[in-house]
Amino acid sequence: MAITLLALLGTVASIASAALASKSHWYGSWVNHPSGFCDTIEHGYQCRDNISHYWGQYSPYFSVPSKISDEVPDGCTVTFAQILSRHGARDPTASKTTSYNSTIVTLQSRVKNFTGPYAFLNDYEYTLGADELTAFGQQELISSGIKYYQRYENLARHLTPFVRSSGEARVVESAQNWTQGFHDAKLADWNSKHQDTAYPYPILVIPETDGENNTLNHDLCTVFENGPDSDIADNAQATWASVFVPPIQNRLNAGMPGANLTVTETIYLMDLCPFYTVASANGTISPFCDLFTEEEWHQYGYYETLNKFYGYSYGNPLGPTQGVGFANELIARLTNTRVHEGASTNSTLDENNATFSLGRKLYADFSHDNDLTAIFSALGLYNTTTLLPNTTLVEAPQANDYSAAWTVPFAARAYFEKLQCREHRDEMVRVIINDRVLPLAQCKGDEDGLCTLQSFIASLRFARNGGLWSSCFT
């Protein structure tokens, strides 16, 4: 078992130099992200939000509208803060980058001359890499570390977080970038001691190798990974694609005579919009984005939402079960008790205080979009979202605030808070995902989204009972 405690080496100074938002606060005159005021630490990526917030899991992090204020309620003090984060913006996966490149080469061989909005394709060369964080993605996590420090500064001034990362390189690098932001914010805090001798912080890296119990990476449940349920999401997407793509396909083929784009190739061209946007260090909107209408981006966003909902959430019988391991680790941290072992938990790690430290107040874990989706479902979050149709579009507000872009964009972050409040004798719990306070109906959350710790834990029977893990190996 190759578990790594990674000490960060060096800094990301060229990125961090533009990391802190300019505000009237202790962090003084540090400036915004280079892309300007439409991309800030506080609110994330708001550039062309009428389209960029509809790129599903390929959207850069942005503040999701919340009916409940995410400010700490009056009379309450945060005593515990766990962040669960997706990695930052990345290049396409290796297989997808090959497919995208092939699509462009084929398109250019078919079309003699591109005109109008397609003219940029005449001398276009494919330049995207594969699997790695982009500079924009690195910045997202630096900004996230800064924001976390600012939000929990009363704790963060005196403490360092216990940090874990799943083993994929882009996830580990995201954890490094996040700690860089946290560290820089601590140094800039006029009310701190202006020193951070614990930095670089150790990061527990859990491998993603086959057979490794890793609560931050699904891959153990063979029936889920390889059985009939593994096709549910693809089938849902294919049905929706047959509805929304043909009009787009026909319009593009008419605008580029000879293109003969297929449904799949049409979706690939849409994918290139977010990927080229986040490939720009400043998050500059790609010309590919303007090939499609606002309505078409809403349809695309729903296409990606179906992938997450039917792949790793309530639309898949075994989807939520993939998140029960982390859910039980969260219970252990909230209650300062040992982990209830089972599912994907790793007893070698969880029974050792060096590798699963209890009694801390600050925790940070880094993972992937699919794993976050499964974890949210294992925790009963978004459980009022009914099965999503695959022939008609349902926007997030009508889906009880569920969508891929609202839950697992690049650099997504969930905060699990424990609070002491004057008006409550019991410890309270609150969950905030991308700045949206969840109402926590499953444990009768109040107007501030607060549940008692006891009622929150009681609501997690599915996770505490191991989900449907016994069905994973039949």
Q: What is the DSSP track for 445-461?
A: --TTS-EEHHHHHHTTH
Q: Is 389 helix (H, G, I), strand (E, B) or coil?
A: coil
Categorize the per-residue pLDDT at 301 as very low, low, confident or very high, splitting at 50, 70 and 90. Answer: very high
pLDDT tens sequence across 168-197:
999 999 999 999 999 999 999 988 876 788
Q: What is the residue whose two structure tokens read 């390189």?
A: 169
The mean pLDDT value for 231-250 works out to 99
Contact criterion met (CB below 8 Å) for 469 and 100: no
> What pLDDT was estimated at residue 14?
32
Question: In which band, very low, low, confident or very high, does the pLDDT at 12 lie, cut at 50, 70 and 90?
Answer: very low
* CA pair distance 331, 454, nearest whole angstrom: 11
pLDDT tens for each residue of 108-126: 999 999 999 999 999 999 9
- Amino acid 331: pLDDT: 98
How far apart (Å, rounded) are the C-alpha atoms in residues 117 and 101? Answer: 20
Contact criterion met (CB below 8 Å) for 183 and 196: yes
Structure-model confidence comparison of residues 137 and 23, the more confident one: 137
Percent with pLDDT over 90 in the chain:
89
The pTM assigned to this predicted structure is 0.93
Provide the pLDDT for residue 36: 54
Range 257-280 average pLDDT: 99
Q: Which residues are catalytic?
A: 87, 369
In the structure, what pLDDT confidence band is assigned to residue 33 with cuts at 50, 70 and 90?
Answer: very low
Question: What pLDDT, on a 0 to 100 scale, did the predictor assign at position 192?
Answer: 84
Is the model's pLDDT at 29 over the cut of 50? no
Contacts of 257 by beta carbon, 8 Å cutoff, 6+ apart: 111
d(CA 389, CA 419): 38
Residues 296-306, mean pLDDT to the nearest whole number = 99
DSSP class of residue 156 equals H
Model confidence at 7: pLDDT above 70: no
Tens of pLDDT along 379-417?
999 999 999 999 999 999 999 999 999 999 999 999 999
pLDDT given for residue 195 in this prediction: 79
Host H or E run for residue 264:
helix 263-279
Percent of the chain with pLDDT strictly greater than 70: 92
- Chain segment 346-367, per-residue pLDDT in tens: 999 999 999 999 999 999 999 9
Domains of the chain: 14-471 (3.40.50.1240)
- Which are the contacts of 74, defined by CB distance < 8 A and separation ≥ 6? none
Average of pLDDT values for 100-104? 98
Q: Residue 4's pLDDT is what?
A: 55
| Average pLDDT in the chain | 93
SS3 371: helix
Provide the pLDDT confidence category of residue 307 given band limits of 50, 70 and 90.
very high
Residues 153-170: tens digit of each pLDDT: 999 999 999 999 999 999
Q: What is the pLDDT of residue 391?
A: 99
- Is residue 218 a contact partner of residue 371, using CB atoms and an 8 Å limit? yes
pLDDT at 5 (0 to 100): 55
The pLDDT value given to residue 193: 73
